[in-house]
């Protein structure tokens, strides 16, 4: 119990520090706040001739783009940044597991990235005057919590992976927009070729978009429950994978001392 309290304090400290650092980064703020608003405006403009209430669909989808951009841009560099600043070895030498620190930093990043959906909602509702009713507020809230949890877990994979294999980091920008499409953020994946569907099913952002779109528009309950179960399942899988990656990373730091010479 005492150890859990210590880990909670470390997580809170990492959360606060990461949040302070991110709020000073104009590039990240653009990616998670301004860019989703631009995407929402473009989507609303392209759908201006279409009947029906699609504004909430666009707001949720554009908010998800901000969430994914935040996870990809910031969470992936949570450990790499420590190497660049020369603090990686110091963190590894702490009695607190490195994963706990990265968890706190990922949590701050995902929570801040979620602001993109809130800003988009306020912008479309207040500035553009579009009605944005949420059909199932309770289900939507549960979906948001599960979305944040699954994306934090996904960030736990990216952080050590970007450090252990620098070649993966070079593909960072290249995978941003494909996940927008595979995740069904702004249009159904049924519009994509059939062979891409399995890739969508292993992505937590896809199930997050399914749950958020369904609860905001009042679609079939079966879709919501399936999406919740899949997000929980993928969160567990991501945690197991990240544990293995952190083990590899720590071995290379402690035994091989090779990460700082990349």
pLDDT, residue 262, reads: 52
Q: Alpha-carbon Rg of the chain, whole angstroms? A: 19
Segment 105-124, tens digit of pLDDT: 888 888 888 887 887 777 77
Average the pLDDT over 128-156 and give the result.
87
pLDDT tops 90 at residue 72? no
pLDDT tops 90 at residue 78? no
pLDDT, residue 49, reads: 64
191: left (phi over 0), alpha (psi -120 to 50) or beta: alpha
pLDDT bucket at 147, cuts 50 / 70 / 90: very high
Nearest 5°: CA angle at 217, between 214 and 221? 40
CB atoms within 10 A of CB 1: 5
Q: Which residue has the higher pLDDT, 20 or 220?
A: 20
Q: How many whole angstroms separate alpha carbon 175 and alpha carbon 75?
A: 14
Q: Where are the alpha helices (DSSP H) in the chain?
A: 2-22, 26-29, 35-46, 55-73, 80-85, 88-92, 98-122, 137-164, 166-169, 176-182, 197-201, 204-217, 221-251
Q: How many whole angstroms separate alpha carbon 156 and alpha carbon 83?
A: 16
pLDDT bucket at 184, cuts 50 / 70 / 90: confident
Tell me, yes or no, whether 71 lies in a domain. yes
Tell me, yes or no, whether 1 lies in a domain. no
pLDDT, residue 160, reads: 81
| Tokens (6 digits) for 166 | 């620098």
Q: How many whole angstroms separate alpha carbon 124 and alpha carbon 217?
A: 16
Q: pTM score, two decimals?
A: 0.86
Tell me, yes or no, whether 115 lies in a domain. yes
Tell me, yes or no, whether 70 lies in a domain. yes
Nearest 5°: CA angle at 60, between 18 and 117? 30
Q: How many domains does the chain fold into? A: 1
Query: In the chain, pLDDT over 70 holds for what percent of residues?
Result: 92
Residue 94: give the domain boundaries. 8-261
pLDDT tops 90 at residue 240? yes
pLDDT, residue 208, reads: 93
pLDDT, residue 169, reads: 67
Average the pLDDT over 223-236 and give the result.
93
Tell me, yes or no, whether 3 lies in a domain. no
Tell me, yes or no, whether 177 lies in a domain. yes
Tell me, yes or no, whether 2 lies in a domain. no
């Amino acid at each position: 119990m005492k150890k859990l309290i210590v880990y909670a304090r470390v997580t809170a400290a990492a959360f606060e520090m990461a949040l302070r650092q991110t709020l000073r980064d104009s590039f990240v703020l653009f990616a998670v706040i301004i860019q989703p608003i631009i995407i929402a405006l473009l989507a609303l403009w392209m759908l201006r001739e279409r009947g029906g209430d699609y504004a909430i669909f666009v707001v949720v989808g554009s908010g998800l783009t901000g969430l994914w951009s935040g996870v990809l841009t910031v969470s992936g560099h949570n450990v790499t940044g420590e190497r660049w600043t020369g603090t990686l070895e110091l963190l590894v030498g702490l009695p607190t597991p490195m994963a706990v620190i990265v968890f706190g930093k990922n949590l701050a990043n995902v929570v801040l990235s979620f602001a993109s959906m809130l800003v988009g909602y306020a912008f479309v509702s207040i500035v553009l005057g579009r009605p944005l009713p949420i059909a199932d507020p309770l289900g939507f809230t549960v979906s948001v919590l599960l979305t944040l949890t699954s994306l934090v877990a996904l960030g736990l994979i990216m952080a050590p992976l970007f450090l252990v294999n620098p070649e993966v980091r070079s593909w960072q920008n290249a995978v941003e927009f494909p996940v927008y499409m595979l995740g069904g953020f702004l249009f159904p994946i049924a519009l994509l070729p059939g062979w891409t569907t399995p890739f969508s099913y292993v992505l937590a952002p896809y199930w997050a978009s399914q749950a958020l779109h369904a609860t905001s528009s009042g679609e079939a309950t079966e879709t919501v429950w399936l999406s919740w179960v899949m997000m929980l399942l993928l969160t567990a899988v991501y945690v197991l994978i990240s544990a293995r990656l952190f083990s590899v990373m720590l071995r290379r730091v402690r035994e091989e001392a090779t990460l700082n010479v990349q």
